[in-house]
A and B are shown apart, each in its own frame.
Chain A
Amino acid sequence: MTRLGEFCRRNPTIVIGAMALMAVAALAIAAPWIAGDPMALAPIDRLQPPSAAHWLGTDFLGRDIYDRVVYGARISLIVGLSVAVCSIVIGLTIGLAAGYWRGVDTLVMRIMDGLMAIPAILLAIAMVSLNRASVWIVIVAITIPEVPRIVRLVRSVVLSVRTLPYIEAAVSGGSPGVKIVVRHILPATINPLIVQGTYITASAILTEAALSFLGAGVPPEIPTWGNMIAQSRLFIARAPWTIFAPGATLALVILSVNLLGDGLRDFLDVRLARRMV
């Protein structure tokens, strides 16, 4: 623990990132107690600038932007964390299998190459447009393009440890393959996955916002940072806060998660190519 403390003292950005993230998570959880009704319409108060009554102003329907930003954090965090967990579970399983049992490797990796060639946002748009909008479809649609990246990462770790003497010892000791993979290889993948999972959370939050912005996200009546920006785009000159309040919050949250990821990467000493998309 002292090593962590020392590390944080020398890298204050990680502490800032983690604290900003915890603050947003707290806001999202406490939303019903600290924010009003995000759907409440007040046409008389439309496009009000920030004031004591409306901390971040109001939008074109007179809805309070602070309330909507706070509730919007819920969707962002739920999607971000769910995508990270789902893509790690699926990608880890496939990656361990492909790395250890070489027979399936070529086929699996070809499929992953094909999936990686499809632009993530278009794959998600296709899935969402074929189904009725819901949070679940958005999570699935963002998870699928992330899986190949996890598979590649896990497979490369497996390939680098499977020839080490301790694995050879386990094999000659007669351990069954599944036991070797789970007991001896899986632990080597944990640190890289923690780091990669953090980056995936950041990119999933970004993709969710982009999908909502394009009208291919969660149902439009649920406030999200992406659809708040999309609905306010005509009012940018008259009421810039309607766009920049959710926009700045979104950017700060993604920045915090990325800083946390960079910090974890340096702390856990994971050498890993930064994600590309």
Chain B
Amino acid sequence: MTGTIARRLASIVPVMCIVAICVFLLLHFAPGDPAAIMAGDNATPANIAAIRAKLGLDQPVWLQFLVWVHNLLRGDLGTSLFWGEGVMTLIGQRAEPTISLALTTITFAVVVAVTLGVVAAAKVGSLLDRAVMGFAVMGFSVPVFVVGYLLIFVFAIILKWLPVQGYTPIAEGVLPWLRNLILPSFALGMAYVALIARITRATMLDVLAEDYMRTAKAKGVATRPMLLKHALKNAAVPIVTVIGNGVALLIGGVVITETVFNIPGVGRLVVDAIARRDYPIIQGVIMVFSGVYVLVNLLVDLSYTLFDPRVRG
């Protein structure tokens, strides 16, 4: 068991190395002069030279690469051109809203999607099943920002049930915090729900066709324990895999959702950095989000052992 964990932990090293190299190459092999673009249209040659020096672009490429790797290993993601502060500090300051949004979305999405998938599979061919499948296609097709504005328009502007946008820290009370997160979680979770519900339904259908399910039914196991204990547990591996892979979807969506709902999180940090051409922030957030994605998928791999003793080996 410890061996498996160690092996899997070691396997994320090459992946993160590739990510670091890609991000480095992006800056250094961009056509044109990135320093001039970051400096903006009204920059003097002195401004451009200053940015070049700040980013170390005046050093030889191999030295820049070594410095980049060395700093990464120390957890130093560089300094923002606009804020003049460490990128890691800036990300830390904005982590709470983003983590809150991610956690509420994942919780809500997994509960809703797995329920929908199980019910659709149990009543395959019914009107409910077709509604779930229809929703699954819709969830993939309607962009996060369109869903977001639709929710704002209906629930905040017309019905006035929920705040239009903004964020309340959890320290100011759980209820206000949650009120601000309901609409963003729905908008962000749509595609994620569609993805998980689809896979849940498909794997449940496969499992329900197995011989041992017929045996369970024959010996008189009630419907609910049969679906949950016998079927869902055996369908868990593909479902959990998709929950992990789908985090990529959430990471992209967080950037958009925070913009639509004016949530001061890490996503907004990146979006604000676009107009300011604050590249150190963008590359820092890429490193952090890629790391989160890789770690989540590592946890997913390790969780297989919980559901499927055969993997333990």
- Which residues in window 259-303 of B have CB below 8 A to A? 259-260, 270-271, 273-275, 277, 279, 282-283, 285-286, 289-290, 293-294
A169: Cβ under 8 A from any B Cβ: no
A122: Cβ under 8 A from any B Cβ: yes
Contact B19 A125 (CB under 8 A): no
Contact B32 A132 (CB under 8 A): yes
- CB contact between B140 and one of A129, A209, A210, A258 (< 8 Å): that residue: A258
Contact A129 B277 (CB under 8 A): yes
The bracket for how many chain A residues form the interface is 35 or more
- Give the distance to chain B from A204, nearest Cβ to Cβ, in Å: 12
Residues A130 and B251 in contact in the complex (CB < 8 Å), given A214-B256, A262-B137? no
Residues of B within 8 A of A111 (CB): 18
Contact A214 B271 (CB under 8 A): yes
Contact B138 A255 (CB under 8 A): yes
- Which residues in window 82-139 of A have CB below 8 A to B? 110-111, 113-123, 125-132
B150: Cβ under 8 A from any A Cβ: yes
Most buried by A among B30, B143, B152, B256: B143
B27: Cβ under 8 A from any A Cβ: yes
- Give the distance to chain A from B5, nearest Cβ to Cβ, in Å: 19
Contact A214 B259 (CB under 8 A): yes
- In the complex, what distance in Å separates the CA atom of A215 from the CA atom of B15? 30
**Which of the 9-residue segments B116-124, B225-233, B241-249 touches chain A?**
B241-249
A53: Cβ under 8 A from any B Cβ: no
**Which of the 9-residue segments A3-11, A30-38, A63-71, A236-244 touches chain B?**
A236-244
Contact B141 A254 (CB under 8 A): yes
* Residue of chain B at shortest CB distance from A199: B140
Residues A276 and B245 in contact in the complex (CB < 8 Å), given A126-B26, A214-B259, A215-B271? yes
- In the complex, what distance in Å separates the CA atom of A117 from the CA atom of B142? 24
Residues A122 and B279 in contact in the complex (CB < 8 Å), given A113-B15, A117-B19, A276-B195? no
- CB contact between A130 and one of B37, B137, B260 (< 8 Å): that residue: B37
- In the complex, what distance in Å separates the CA atom of A125 from the CA atom of B270? 9
Digitize B123-151: 1 where CB-to-A-CB distance is under 8 Å, 0 elsewhere. 00000000000000110111111100110
Chain A interface, DSSP helix/strand/loop, else mixed: helix
Residues A210 and B149 in contact in the complex (CB < 8 Å), given A110-B15, A122-B270, A129-B279? no
A247: Cβ under 8 A from any B Cβ: yes
- CB contact between A277 and one of B144, B146, B249, B282 (< 8 Å): that residue: B249
- In the complex, what distance in Å separates the CA atom of A217 from the CA atom of B13? 32
B22: Cβ under 8 A from any A Cβ: yes
- CB contact between A114 and one of B22, B152, B195 (< 8 Å): that residue: B22
* Residue of chain A at shortest CB distance from B281: A129
Residues A202 and B271 in contact in the complex (CB < 8 Å), given A123-B286, A130-B37? no
- CB contact between B30 and one of A110, A120, A130, A254 (< 8 Å): that residue: A130
- Give the distance to chain A from B151, nearest Cβ to Cβ, in Å: 11
- Which residues in window 196-252 of B have CB below 8 A to A? 198, 242, 245-246, 248-249, 251-252
B108: Cβ under 8 A from any A Cβ: no
- CB contact between B283 and one of A119, A121, A126, A259 (< 8 Å): that residue: A126
* Residue of chain B at shortest CB distance from A203: B140
Residues of B within 8 A of A128 (CB): 274
* Residue of chain B at shortest CB distance from A130: B30
- Which residues in window 211-244 of A have CB below 8 A to B? 213-216, 229, 233, 236-237, 240, 243-244
- CB contact between A122 and one of B34, B141, B282 (< 8 Å): that residue: B282
Residues of B within 8 A of A251 (CB): 141-143, 146
Contact B149 A233 (CB under 8 A): yes
* Residue of chain B at shortest CB distance from A120: B252
Contact B32 A131 (CB under 8 A): yes
A250: Cβ under 8 A from any B Cβ: yes
- Give the distance to chain A from B68, nearest Cβ to Cβ, in Å: 14
Contact A236 B153 (CB under 8 A): yes
- In the complex, what distance in Å separates the CA atom of A139 from the CA atom of B145? 21
A274: Cβ under 8 A from any B Cβ: yes
A206: Cβ under 8 A from any B Cβ: yes
- In the complex, what distance in Å separates the CA atom of A120 from the CA atom of B247? 12
Chain A residues proximal to chain B, CB less than 8 Å: 110-111, 113-123, 125-132, 202, 206, 209-210, 213-216, 229, 233, 236-237, 240, 243-244, 247-248, 250-251, 254-255, 258-259, 262, 274, 276-277
Q: 13 other contacts beyond A119-B252, A210-B256, A233-B149, with CB at 8 A cut-off?
A: A111-B18, A114-B22, A115-B18, A121-B252, A122-B286, A129-B277, A130-B27, A130-B37, A229-B145, A244-B153, A250-B143, A254-B142, A276-B248
Q: List 14 A-B contacts (CB under 8 A).
A: A114-B18, A117-B19, A122-B255, A126-B279, A126-B282, A129-B274, A130-B27, A236-B157, A250-B143, A254-B141, A255-B137, A262-B137, A276-B245, A277-B249
Chain B residues proximal to chain A, CB less than 8 Å: 14-19, 21-23, 26-27, 30-32, 34, 37, 137-138, 140-146, 149-150, 152-153, 157, 195, 198, 242, 245-246, 248-249, 251-252, 255-256, 259-260, 270-271, 273-275, 277, 279, 282-283, 285-286, 289-290, 293-294
Q: Which 7 A-B pairs have the closest CB atoms?
A: A114-B18, A255-B141, A247-B146, A121-B252, A130-B30, A254-B141, A251-B142
